[in-house]
Amino acid sequence: MISILFLILIFIWFYKKRTSYNPYDISLSHSSYYECAFCREEKCTEEVLRILEPVAGHKRILKNVFLQGEKDGRAGADVVMIHESGIYVIHSANLEGVIAGNPQGRYWKQTFREGWLLACRNYLYNPFLENKKILDVMQWEFRDMPWLPYYSFAVFGNRGVLLTSGWMGENCFSLPVHALSSAVADVFRHNRRFLKEQDIERIYERMKNTLHS
């Protein structure tokens, strides 16, 4: 009986150890240690693309964009849209649990269960800081076009609940995926036709030439 109780306590210890991650580790966070260690992060990129395709106005859309920065190495974004209203850099995720965090903080929290015994709380690298890496590279690449407007979006799928939602300041938006279309339309209404078609095509060609595979 004592040995069984001891084994149960060992199991609980390992479970809590493997479902509570170091907040200074930017590893992907999921519902289990196995997924976090061995699986790719769940995305909602295809749904984001389906929402952006019918957006009004001339545009170019790039998927899985990676650019090489001088200081921080390779920087990436799930989706980049070059639109009449500006350039949109979109980080997508489709995670379970409750997602919340400070827009200026380094890490966001993903919570599955509360309490002591079966609590499961992971840490996510702030998606806006992730976007900032590629935004910095793009702003350097297009330094001859300092007037370009940039927008940073963190979009979360329907598997979880997003508590940190809405306008985050400085052209940053954290949204559930179903709210993406209306958010882009709202930006478009305020900016109208900021970029001409030839500007979009020129930026698109330069982006393609600097892509890092």
Angle of helix 45-52 versus helix 180-191 axis, rounded to 10: 40
- Which of 170, 18, 22 is CA-nearest to residue 106? 22
φ/ψ region of 55 (left if φ > 0, alpha if ψ in -120 to 50, else beta) reads: beta
What pLDDT score was predicted for residue 123? 82
Say which DSSP state 6 is in. H
| Model confidence band, residue 30 (pLDDT cutoffs 50, 70, 90) | very low
Say which DSSP state 42 is in. P
| Angstrom distance (rounded) from CA 13 to CA 19 | 10
pLDDT at 35 over 70: no
- Who wins on pLDDT, 130 or 32? 130
Taking only the tens place, the pLDDT of each residue in 100-128 is: 988 888 889 888 766 555 667 788 889 99
Q: Which two tokens stand for residue 71?
A: 């200081």
Taking only the tens place, the pLDDT of each residue in 169-197 is: 889 999 999 999 999 999 888 877 778 99
- Which of 98, 97, 63 is CA-nearest to residue 208? 63
| Angstrom distance (rounded) from CA 100 to CA 41 | 17
| DSSP 3-state of 201 | helix
Q: Which two tokens stand for residue 159?
A: 């598997």
What pLDDT score was predicted for residue 172? 94
Taking only the tens place, the pLDDT of each residue in 2-20 is: 667 656 666 555 555 444 4
Whole domain around residue 201: which residue ranges? 2-210
What pLDDT score was predicted for residue 27? 44
What pLDDT score was predicted for residue 113? 64
Domains contained in the chain, number: 1
Instruction: Identify residue 198 by its one-letter amino acid code.
Output: Q
What pLDDT score was predicted for residue 122? 80
| Model confidence band, residue 29 (pLDDT cutoffs 50, 70, 90) | very low
Phi, psi of 124 (to 5 degrees): -115, 135
- Who wins on pLDDT, 194 or 142? 142
Taking only the tens place, the pLDDT of each residue in 145-174 is: 888 999 999 999 998 899 988 898 889 999
Residue 161 burial by Cβ neighbours in a 10 Å radius (0-12, 13-18, 19+): middle
What pLDDT score was predicted for residue 6? 59
The predicted model scores a pTM of: 0.78
| Angstrom distance (rounded) from CA 132 to CA 71 | 13
Taking only the tens place, the pLDDT of each residue in 55-76 is: 988 999 999 998 876 665 678 8
Q: Distances from the Cα of 128 to the Cαs of 104, 152, 169, in angstroms?
A: 8, 7, 11
| CB 152 within 8 Å of CB 89 | yes
Mean pLDDT of the chain: 80
